[in-house]
Amino acid sequence: MGDFTTIENHWITLADGTRLAARIWIPDGAEADPVPAVFEFLPYRKRDGTAPRDESTYPYFAQNRIAGVRVDIRGSGESSGVIDGEYTELELANACELIDWIAAQPWSNGNVGMMGISWGGFNCLQVAALRPKPLKAVISISSTVDRYNDDVHYKNGCHLGANLGWAGVMQAYQSRSPDPELVGEAWRAMWMERLENNPNFALEWISHQRRDAFWRHGSICEDFAAVDIPALVIAGWADGYRNTPIKAIEGLGPKAKAIIGPWIHKYPHFAWPKPRMDFLGEAVRWWKRWLADAQNGAEDLPQLRAFRAEATLPPAPRREHEDGVWLAIEQWTPPANRPFHVDAAGCLTSGSPVQDAPRPTYLRSPLSTGTMAGEWFTLSPGADLAGDQRADDAGSLTFETVPFDEAFDILGRPELTLTLACPGDWSNICARLVDVHPDGTASRIGFGVLNLAHRDSSAAPALMPEGSVPITMVLDACGYRLRPGHKLRLALSTSYWPTVLPSPRDPGVTINTASIHLGLPYPENAQPVDVPAPSDPNPLPEYISHSAGSDGYRVSKDRVTGCTTHIVESDTGHVEHPGTGMTSRTTERATWDIEDGDPTSLTGRIEFLCETSRPGWSTRTTSHVALSCTEDEWLLSGQVTAYENDTEMFNRPYEHRIPRDYT
């Protein structure tokens, strides 16, 4: 391992005069013997927001003679200007300009990689599609190739509750001030500029309810061929971005490699549940091959490595580890589906169905069905993960197999076809695969959702016709083994709240159970493989704690009003970075309510408190964004208030009415 120098803050001035803040790790001797560089471009504040994970990653790269450049997007952290949205043309153009800047530095060998998780995983794939010449490879973690169907906003036309949740996050995060220690007296003017001009993310996202040009922009699935460099795409089964690795290798072909672990939305070397992966070693190998021409065989890695879990239990309250095995598929092709159907006795049975008379069954789930789904966007290995499914199964139409005599494996994207009728304009439908343990415990294996108005197209949704129509649902990717003695349950519901917000009239559906056909994939060429764990079991740095953090997750039912309330809370505690002296704290509370039988009773409210301080200086912002509805409109409101040393400096409320467009 070599030595390196950390530049805590370096200003990079763009052609339009915007000054961006960068933190840079440079291996010693790089000006005499130039090195490749890895670039990450985020709005999450290098000074405090992503500092722990940056400090667990980039020093390791630098010790292996790979420079790291972590830059705050305009209008975030200490970077000047104002952010103009999510993955905008300006953001991507700025990234290309920064890549050229990095390649031209005297310590750079001219070859740049781009990396990130979530926002940084998204934009590195999008920038790769623009083909800046110095960009030679990317590593994308917890990202998407389809912004409409596989992000926090919408899913097959269903309006995700996470759409409001992430809008609340961005509103709160972008309300924070720069650090006076770095930007000097200009900090207050920069802060006010942001507060006055930050975009309303919720308004923008809710205004685009179809898969229109807004969502097609930045979705590399529109033209996979535009990405002509190697891409390593990583995700976790416990996170919402589980589809991306398989979609990426199917679309990008041999130049892409994929890894799917058991993890939540974290880097694999410190993610939960375990087993973790030696991400740092994996990444160094990738960068050395494509940025330094090392002949280390990275191009010969299996196209997909995936963790196949088994007998997973719901968190109680935290899932530390999952049983299972890592599998390798040398060349991925979508595997053939093994068929299951529902027989006349209502059992889920292997094999193709025989011709049978229709068996119509009306289904209208309680609107609170779905409270055991956990969070779509999982940041905690505790209650964020899906819980015991028996509570949700009670509001669902269920079919199950007899106990398996031998292990039954699933790896890929299951497919469900059925015929149904809807007495209203449309409804939502959710399908879940559940492992029923011998003691009755029910663990979710995977799920899929569909807004029936989007059954043929999310770009041009259409009302349901009279009579029955065939429906196809492709469920999210999953990797799982059902052990002998376990049963497979298929659960269908018309509600999956608050993961999915309800249709405006919730008419229910009539399903012909004789038409149900479930296809379960498993690649025959899957072989066990060794995926090394990180050598350091606790790679994140320890910061100074001035108050403890906490998390909470509660669901309650008022039996008088029929209102179900779903609350998720988190508090980071007051944490001081020992190098900068800055103390930060963020609290979040997400509250969702819905009343029995009334989909327009839906309300959601996301509240944040963000505090930043050092001796003699402090800023604080409070922020909320709220959503309710009528049958015809989404009702959006919110407010941001900012304080300097307890003096109110800014206050802006807002209200908007947005027509519902088939959601």
- The per-residue pLDDT for 2 is 78
* Position 390 pLDDT exceeds 80: yes
DSSP state string for 190-218: HHHHHHHH---HHHHHHT--SS-HHHHTT
Tokens of 157: 């036309």
- The per-residue pLDDT for 379 is 87
Least Cα distance to 282 among 293, 298, 294 occurs for: 298
CA–CA gap between residue 617 and residue 180 (Å, rounded): 9
- The per-residue pLDDT for 197 is 98
Among the ranges given (277-291, 309-323, 493-507, 516-530), the one the predictor scored with the smallest mean pLDDT:
309-323
CB 142 within 8 A of CB 121: yes
CA–CA gap between residue 286 and residue 281 (Å, rounded): 9
Share of the chain above pLDDT 90, in %: 97
- Give me the half-sphere count of Cα atoms (radius 13 Å) on the Cβ side of residue 330: 4
Same fold, 4-157+212-245 and 337-527: no
3-state secondary structure 372-405: CCCCCCCCCCCCCCCCCCHHHHCCCEEEECCCCC
* Position 141 pLDDT exceeds 80: yes
Least Cα distance to 543 among 50, 6, 34 occurs for: 50
- The per-residue pLDDT for 49 is 93
Kind plus residue range of the DSSP H or E element containing 53? helix 51-63
| pLDDT tens per residue across span 70-107 | 999 999 999 999 999 999 999 999 999 999 999 999 99
pLDDT band at 380 (very low <50, low <70, confident <90, very high): confident
CB 168 within 8 A of CB 624: yes
- The per-residue pLDDT for 652 is 97
Calculate helix-pair angle for 51-63, 279-291, nearest 10 degrees.
50
Residue ranges of domains in the chain: 4-157+212-245, 165-208+544-577+581-663, 337-527
- The per-residue pLDDT for 441 is 98
Mean pLDDT within 601-613: 98
pLDDT band at 531 (very low <50, low <70, confident <90, very high): very high
CB 141 within 8 A of CB 116: yes
Phi, psi dihedrals of residue 166, rounded to the nearest 5°: -75, -30
- DSSP helix/strand/coil, 500: strand
Share of the chain above pLDDT 70, in %: 100
Q: Which CATH number fits domain 337-527: 1.10.260.30, 2.60.120.260, 3.40.605.10, 3.40.50.1580?
A: 2.60.120.260
DSSP state string for 469-485: EEEEEEPPPEEEEEPTT
- The per-residue pLDDT for 220 is 98
Domain 4-157+212-245 fold is Rossmann fold (3.40.50)
Question: What value does the mean pLDDT of the chain take?
Answer: 97
* Position 1 pLDDT exceeds 70: no
Alpha-carbon 283 to chain mean position: 21
- The per-residue pLDDT for 343 is 95
* Position 466 pLDDT exceeds 70: yes
